[in-house]
């Protein structure tokens, strides 16, 4: 962690190679965040480019270098949501993505794909809260900080999203799991 903080400070002083090293360190995580939000490779890569641009442009505004990854993630989510709003379209998983997954256990694959289908039905803000809370195992307070929303709003989004997911599971009933 100490090395990351030093790289952030160097990058804030204008060291472009330090910024590139930092960005490459987190690029894969940022890609996953973008891909989960957008559902396709091209859009996720566009978001990574936009995240790199925005973060480089505003790096000097980052007050606490220890939160560099959180700050980058927030920018990637913001870029993803901007792209969804701009294109005003429903997120669809491409068949190529499903073909690239190695299936070891059909039941696990079905459950995994079903969860993705369920999450796709959520609004972008709800999806962000669910992904950050359960995929990245962040507390609701950390989720609220990343999304720059009040804690109460974060809780409301989380509970609303869970309620929607629960309702959909109960309606369709063929998912092989239940909410508790």
Q: Is this prediction's pTM over 0.85?
A: no
**Domains of the chain (ranges plus CATH)?**
1-91 (1.10.1740.10), 101-173 (1.10.10.10)
φ, ψ of residue 67 to 5 degrees: the values are: -100, 25
Q: Is 41 helix (H, G, I), strand (E, B) or coil?
A: helix
pLDDT on residue 99: 52
**Interaxial angle between packed helices 68-87 and 41-58, expressed in degrees from 0 to 180 and rounded to the nearest 10:** 130
pLDDT mean over 90-104 = 47
Structure tokens at 76: 């990637």
pLDDT mean over 40-62 = 92
**Per-residue pLDDT tens digits for 138-160:** 889 888 888 888 999 999 999 99
């Amino acid at each position: 962690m100490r090395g990351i903080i030093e790289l952030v400070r160097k990058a804030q002083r204008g060291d472009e190679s330090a910024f590139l090293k930092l960005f490459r360190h987190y690029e894969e995580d940022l890609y996953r965040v973008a891909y989960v939000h957008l559902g396709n490779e091209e859009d996720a890569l566009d978001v990574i480019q936009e995240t790199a641009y925005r973060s480089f442009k505003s790096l000097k505004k980052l007050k606490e270098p220890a939160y560099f990854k959180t700050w980058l993630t927030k920018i990637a989510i913001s870029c993803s949501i901007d792209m969804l709003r701009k294109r005003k379209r429903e997120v669809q998983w491409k068949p190529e993505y499903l073909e690239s997954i190695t299936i070891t256990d059909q039941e696990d694959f079905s459950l995994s794909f079903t969860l993705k289908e369920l999450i796709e039905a959520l609004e972008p803000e709800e999806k962000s809260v669910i992904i950050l809370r359960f995929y990245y195992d962040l507390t609701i307070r950390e989720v609220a900080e990343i999304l720059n929303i009040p804690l109460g709003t974060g809780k409301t989004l989380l509970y609303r999203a869970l309620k929607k997911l629960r309702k959909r599971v109960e309606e369709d009933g063929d998912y092989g799991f239940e909410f508790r």
